[in-house]
Amino acid sequence: DLVLIKNTDVQAARLGNIIHAMIMYRRKLDREEIKPVMALGIVPMCSYQMERMFNTTRVPGKETDVLQHLSDSRHVAVYHKGRFFKLWLYEGSCLLKPQDLEMQFQRILDDPSPPQPGEEKLAALTAGGRVEWAQARQAFFSSGKNKAALEAIERAAFFVALDEESYRYDPEDEASLSLYGKALLHGNCYNRWFDKSFTLISFKNGQLGLNAEHAWADAPIIGHLWEFVLGTDSFHLGYTETGHCLGKPNPALPPPTRLQWDIPKQCQAVIESSYQVAKALADDVELYCFQFLPFGKGLIKKCRTSPDAFVQIALQLAHFRDRGKFCLTYEASMTRMFREGRTETVRSCTSESTAFVQAMVEKSHAKADLRDLFQKAAKKHQNMYRLAMTGAGIDRHLFCLYLVSKYLGVSSPFLAEVLSEPWRLSTSQIPQSQIRMFDPEQHPNHLGAGGGFGPVADDGYGVSYMIAGENTIFFHISSKFSSSETNAQRFGNHIRQALLDLADLFQVPKTDS
């Protein structure tokens, strides 16, 4: 969500505007009215991933999952206090107005009915083992009311979770952003439907967030939707002085309907088992989110380097200070200049970056020499990123060779070793300003904090960052409590110091944090 401004504290009203904007976006998608994102402002990138944004579910299978995409869906599935609801988005052929959607969500919030047996933790099935979920789906959800209720969820445009807690970023309370992020990452393990293309999460105080399933698309796709929705909410729809949606609702609309379940004891045991598996995973994730205030891309550009290369080299320096060694580093790059392209890997830990880091740690080199080493590392990184984007990367090529070797039954010790090496530092830059909904210079506080993900390796870090405008960077750092070698907050402090040390190399003045 926009973390530095507040539109309304009314949970139902915020959902009214946001969901109306989401369906407006879906209508633009269906009519092919959304312009492609341009790489470097010149080359249009493939928009294929957007097609599966709505009306999409990941269906579990015993051997492989399947993405089920429908051409249309006229309702959303809603979870609140352990109950599932079906909420229609249309009256006849007309999309419900924000004030009507607000009324419908308020009806759900006011509904006092208790959960049915087994209903409260049902969504934990989507958070546990896939084979167990596939077996339970076949055994308990293949007929009758359970099949009908499950279809209402899986055939929904998307899933909406109404949380009873409140989260908001308070710049005076650093822990607030991490708590906000952790709630969005996994919630309580049964109040998100992790198989839907995305879950819209609404907190009691009107703040929002998304939890996206990764198989159907990459982060920039959901980011594009979110930019449109937040911009429409703030600058086109608006609220009354009391925080409600504009206009009067139609009280004659039939209320949302409760989904009906008949969940036997054996199924409840599977649900509880999946919940315990998911809870153990979630409890092990340490997430540390922070806003880096001293500078953003404005100062970095004065150092005559790309902001991404600057941050990636800072991550290498921070990791060496944190662990005393280098590690295999993954940075995701887009390959959407090609049809149906997804990602390629930029291996950010290069001989040039390690040479610079070692020189920094030795503390015996002149600043001019360090700047020279830094520029060599940055130039190498920028070139590798360019190669990855233009189809000249390494890792997808190796992966395809691995698939061919499996198909032919040919063993390759080289491929087996390369593809089994753990990525102890998995990183990604979060895109922003993909569409221009407002002037960021006139509205500098309309900033989102980006998003994050868990660590890929048990003893590694997951780092996502958003260079949010000219003067700030948001970081999301994850690790596992079960690893004695990692600590997300410690690593975050090393990142802070590394960024400041790089800026000092170029003697560019910066603001105090």
Mean pLDDT for 137-152 is 97
Stretch (H or E) spanning 91: strand 90-91
133-141, Cβ contacts within 8 angstroms, sequence gap of 24 or more: 133/60, 133/274, 134/60, 134/61, 134/62, 135/62, 135/270, 136/267, 136/270, 136/271, 137/59, 137/60, 139/266, 139/267, 140/263, 140/264, 140/266, 140/267, 140/270
Identify the pLDDT of residue 508. 62
The percent of residues above 70 in pLDDT, for the chain, comes to 99
Same structural domain for residues 307 and 180? no
DSSP-derived pairing of the beta strands 425-429 and 329-334: parallel
Q: Reduced to 3 states, what is the DSSP secondary structure of residue 146?
A: helix
Nearest to 413 by CA among 401, 395, 425: 401
Report, as an integer, the average pLDDT of 474-491. 98
Q: Do the domain assignments include residue 2?
A: no
pLDDT tier, 244 (very low <50, low <70, confident <90, very high otherwise): very high
Residue at 22 is within a domain: yes
Q: Is 252 in the same domain as 343?
A: no
Q: Give domain status of residue 510, yes or no.
A: no
- Asked if the structure places residue 401 within a domain, the reply is no
Rounded mean pLDDT, 461-473: 93
How is residue 389 written in tokens? 């984007």
Residue 24's pLDDT is what?
96
pLDDT tens for 49-69 read: 999 999 999 999 999 999 999
Q: Is residue 513 assigned to a domain? A: no
Q: Which 3 state secondary structure label does DSSP give 283?
A: helix
Neighbour-count burial of 511, counting CB atoms closer than 10 A to its CB (0-12 exposed, 13-18 middle, 19+ buried): exposed
293 has a pLDDT exceeding 60: yes
Which residue, of 264, 283, 302, is where some domain finishes?
Answer: 283
Q: With 70 as the cut, is the pLDDT of residue 513 above it?
A: no
What's the pLDDT tens digit per position in 103-128? 999 999 999 999 999 999 999 999 99
Question: Is 90 exceeded by the pLDDT of residue 499?
Answer: yes
Q: What is the pLDDT of residues 407-435, one digit of tens each?
A: 999 999 999 899 999 999 999 999 887 88
The arithmetic mean of pLDDT across residues 462-491, rounded, is 95
Q: Is residue 207 part of a domain?
A: yes
User: Over the stretch 298-333, which tens digit does the pLDDT of each residue have?
Assistant: 999 998 899 999 999 999 999 999 999 999 999 999
- Considering all CA atoms of the chain, what is the largest pairwise distance in Å, rounded to the nearest integer? 77
Half-sphere exposure of 286 (CA within 13 A, CB side): 19
Instruction: Give the range of the structural domain holding residue 123, as residue numbers without chain letter.
Output: 11-283
Q: Look at residue 437 and tell me whether its pLDDT is greater than 80.
A: no
Q: Which carries the bigger pLDDT value, residue 445 or residue 175?
A: 175
My answer on whether 306 and 325 are in the same domain is yes
Does 274 lie in the same domain as 320?
A: no
Q: Which of 283, 303, 325 is the last residue of a domain?
A: 283
Query: Residue 216 above 90 pLDDT?
Result: yes
Q: Assign residue 277 the CATH number of its domain.
A: 3.30.559.70
What CATH number corresponds to the domain at position 358?
A: 3.30.559.10
Neighbours of 305 (CB within 10 A): 20
Measured distance CA(98)–CA(237) in Å, rounded:
8
**Alpha-carbon distances of 157 from 19, 347, 428, rounded to whole Å:** 10, 37, 28
Q: Are residues 229 and 308 in the same domain?
A: no
208-212/43-44 β-pairing? unpaired
Give the mean model confidence (pLDDT) for residues 165-172.
92
> Which residues lie closer than 8 Å to 473 by C-beta, 6 or more apart?
291, 292, 295, 296, 311, 465, 466, 467, 499
Q: Tell me: do 70 and 83 sit in the same domain.
A: yes
- In the chain, the number of structural domains is 2
For residue 276, the model assigns a pLDDT of 98
What is the rounded distance in angstroms from the CA atom of residue 347 to the CA atom of residue 439?
35
Identified catalytic residue from 186, 214, 365, 476: 214
Same domain, 304 and 359: yes
Domain contains 488: yes
| N-to-C CA span, the chain | 23
pLDDT at 511 over 80: no
Average pLDDT, the chain: 94
Tokens of 319: 């990791």
Among this protein's residues, is 443 annotated catalytic? Answer: no
Residue 473 is predicted with a pLDDT of 95
Do residues 277 and 303 share a domain?
no
pLDDT digits (tens, 9 = 90+) for 3-33: 888 889 999 999 999 999 999 999 999 999 9
Does one domain contain both 225 and 314? no
| Confidence at residue 510, expressed as pLDDT on a 0 to 100 scale | 60
Same domain, 248 and 313: no
Give yes or no for a contact between 4 and 98, defined as CB atoms under 8 angstroms apart: no
Residue 40 has pLDDT above 80, yes or no: no
Judge whether 408 lies within some domain. no
Q: Which of 231, 249, 283 is the last residue of a domain?
A: 283
**What's the whole-number mean pLDDT along residues 442-456?**
87
Digit-coded pLDDT (tens) for 360-407? 999 889 999 999 999 999 999 999 999 999 999 999 999 999 999 999
Identify whether the C-beta of residue 378 lies closer than 8 Å to the C-beta of residue 309. Answer: yes
Give pLDDT, residue 444: 73
* Same-domain pairing of 277 and 309: no
- The alpha helices in 303-350, defined as continuous H runs, are 307-323
Q: At residue 438, does pLDDT exceed 80?
A: no
Domain identity same for 264 and 365? no
pLDDT number for residue 447? 82
